[in-house]
Structure 1
């Protein structure tokens, strides 16, 4: 298990660097997105073995406020157990999420009738709607540049996009995986509110798994929203290995 968590830590440190700059604050690293898109967060500095104080957290939060980005931190409880106390002392609210790793090749559920689940390329007509779906799924206004940004990352091999496409050619559900070496994380799987409870999220995730395996990815992982969602991902072969912690300001 320690080896697995170490691989995930290396991935967590590497994957934001393709779209963000890293600002170092001793035991913490703040990733600041370059350009438009979902904002990043601060997390433990890779390889740091000392403790983290509330003062360390406060300094990062002050920088986040200065930049006008969310005061957010993400880390793995089992890897950096002392960070939670420092974050909570600083005044942030911590939420727990199951961190899951795929065992085996995964199970592919059948796509619902009238829906095609497939990978979406940079020139695919479905790309604009597929890029916008996660924003709509999470109730956020889409970035005007979302499609262009996703297309650029697909072309660069940084992101691979899958979508469940309806008969009208529009995406009903979409998600991505982002490989770094032999590790890839499934992220941003979202379904339009009008298309939920049809198994589209699992079908899209299965397509991402198949694509990752075809590209030689050995470790596929994701973070589930809660235990009920984790049970759904369990149908595909994911198993909880640790707890992902996300800290934000109280809403």
Structure 2
């Protein structure tokens, strides 16, 4: 399973970025609007990752003006954490969860909203992306709506939202797929709409959409153990630990 996920992790960023080779690490640099990418262990690399390689990548990220960020799976590349921390970056742990078909569970959908797929020309597209950004305390990037619409049109992502009666999306999330593997990403709810089960309902609808599109493996990374317990209500189980390291923005240091 972890080998399958590593192939996915290497494939998906390449649809919206260029890959720069740093030996044991690969830096993905986004081309166009959208969330910035990160560096990951190079697919197939099995040895140690020296501190010097991490420092070279961080230097290149500073040169490009992109976040100094790394993402990897602890169990797949166990030595990378020490190398990253040696350069001063904090590392955060996130439960890596997989949903097996036999474990899937359905929950009642919340009232007062419509949970639906958002297509490129849907008026709710902008508010759906804004809901995701608001959930993580980030502004909606210029060009993000057009870029997401293009990715949906190209079949690279699917977006599901919980839409209020006035047509505004209160929560949203997306699917990213590579072959039979699909990741549920960016589940977010506007702060004023939390505690209504909207995020879990969006996740359940994304799972249904993924299965309808032929997904064999569905996975996600939970924020923490408490959020992982929510996803477990849908049948997701933790199989590993996703690690994320990112330097604070200069104004936050």
* Global fold match (TM > 0.5): yes
Q: Which position in structure 2 is the counterpart of 1:50? A: 47
Matches within 5 A, 1:48-87: 48-87=45-84
Partner secondary structure for residue 208 of structure 2 = helix
2:129 corresponds to which of 128, 131, 153: 131
Q: CA contact under 8 A between 2:163 and 2:170: conserved in structure 1?
A: yes
Structure 2 length-normalised TM:
0.96
Matches within 5 A, 1:154-193: 154-193=152-191
Quote the Cα distance in structure 1 between the aligned partners of 2:100 and 2:44.
Answer: 27
Quote the Cα distance in structure 2 between the aligned partners of 1:67 and 1:147.
Answer: 23
Shift of 1:111: 2.2
Shift of 1:120: 0.9
Q: CA contact under 8 A between 2:32 and 2:147: conserved in structure 1?
A: no
After superposition, what is the alpha-carbon deviation per residue over 1:126-165, rounded to whole angstroms, capped at 9, x for unaligned?
A: 1121122111111111113121111111100000000000
Quote the Cα distance in structure 2 between the aligned partners of 1:74 and 1:215.
Answer: 27
Shift of 1:186: 0.3
Matches within 5 A, 1:209-224: 209-224=207-222
Shift of 1:107: 2.2
Structure 1 length-normalised TM:
0.96
Q: Which position in structure 2 is the counterpart of 1:101? A: 98
Quote the Cα distance in structure 1 between the aligned partners of 2:125 and 2:178.
Answer: 22
Q: CA contact under 8 A between 2:71 and 2:244: conserved in structure 1?
A: yes
Quote the Cα distance in structure 2 between the aligned partners of 1:207 and 1:19.
Answer: 25
Q: CA contact under 8 A between 1:108 and 1:207: conserved in structure 2?
A: no
Matches within 5 A, 1:18-37: 18-37=15-34
After superposition, what is the alpha-carbon deviation per residue over 1:105-128, rounded to whole angstroms, capped at 9, x for unaligned?
A: 622322222111011111212112
Listed as ranges, the gaps of 5+ residues in structure 1 are none
Partner secondary structure for residue 47 of structure 1 = coil
Quote the Cα distance in structure 2 between the aligned partners of 1:177 and 1:107.
Answer: 19
Partner secondary structure for residue 198 of structure 1 = coil
Partner secondary structure for residue 142 of structure 1 = coil
Q: CA contact under 8 A between 1:132 and 1:147: conserved in structure 2?
A: no
Listed as ranges, the gaps of 5+ residues in structure 2 are none
Q: CA contact under 8 A between 1:117 and 1:203: conserved in structure 2?
A: yes
Matches within 5 A, 1:205-244: 205-244=203-242
Quote the Cα distance in structure 1 between the aligned partners of 2:198 and 2:172.
Answer: 9
